[in-house]
Amino acid sequence: PQGSEEAKAFVNAFLKRSMPKKKDETIQEILTRKAVVLEHYSQKKKKPKRKKPKGFTAKQRREMRLFEIEPEQQRYAIFLPLHELWKQYIRELCHGLKPDAQPHMLQGKLLKADLHGAIVTVTKSKCPSYVGITGIILQEFKHVFKIITKEDKLKVVPKLNNVFSLEIDGFISYIYGSKFQLRASERSAKKFKLKGTIDL
């Protein structure tokens, strides 16, 4: 049989374990009421952090040759259907390219549009060897266009110091590559200035 002091100590210790958020003074106040409502205390379980799937690094992509076009696939005729799809996409984007459409509105949409499949021509360049190159854009990177020409040659043309033109349904748009050094995904969210410095 336990004495009154031992019983009191046991009760106090039990209440501290049962109500860890309560202070000793508060527990003593509760004991004087002779009725104690025990709290349910449960430790919060930490949710395991979800690991985001990591994509390939630039080095891994190069090693896997993900963006390389095989030599047997470097033929202009293969990508003509892609160009037809691009024209259809632009017509829908610009609501039909009507003659009464405002040029600056069309220009704004073309600057944000996906250019994979567009036929472009280098009209001006600080490097004369680039002038006159015409072909379908197969890949667009931040600083270069990869273009397949009618002669089935894959050309890598830098955007910097080059001016490109593209024509669709009689509407000709000029792209100043030096102001266009963005990835296709970044261009869709960028606000281009209607007026700016025009240089190569």
Q: What is the 3-state secondary structure (H, E, C) of 141-182?
A: CCCEEEEEECCCCEEEEECCCEEEEEEECCEEEEEEHHHCCC
Sheet with 134-140: list strands edge to edge: 154-158, 144-149, 134-140, 119-125, 162-168, 171-176
User: How much is the pTM?
Assistant: 0.65
User: pLDDT in tens for each of the 200 residues of the chain?
Assistant: 456 777 778 877 877 777 776 777 776 776 666 555 655 556 667 777 777 667 778 788 778 777 788 888 889 999 999 999 999 998 888 877 777 777 777 777 888 888 999 999 999 999 999 999 999 999 988 899 999 999 999 999 999 999 999 988 888 888 888 888 888 777 777 666 655 555 65
Task: Report CA dihedral (100, 164, 150, 155) to the nearest 10 degrees.
Answer: -150
Question: Which domains does the chain carry?
Answer: 73-189 (2.30.30.210)
Six token digits for residue 47: 């949710």
C-alpha span between 117 and 45 (Å, rounded):
53
Residue whose entry in the numeric block shows the structure tokens 């002038």: 131
C-alpha span between 62 and 55 (Å, rounded):
13
Q: Is 142:85 a contact under the CB 8 Å cutoff?
A: no
| Number of helical H runs and strand E runs in the chain | 6, 6
Most distant CA atoms of the chain, gap in Å: 106
What is the helix (H) or strand (E) element at residue 12, kind and residue range? helix 4-18
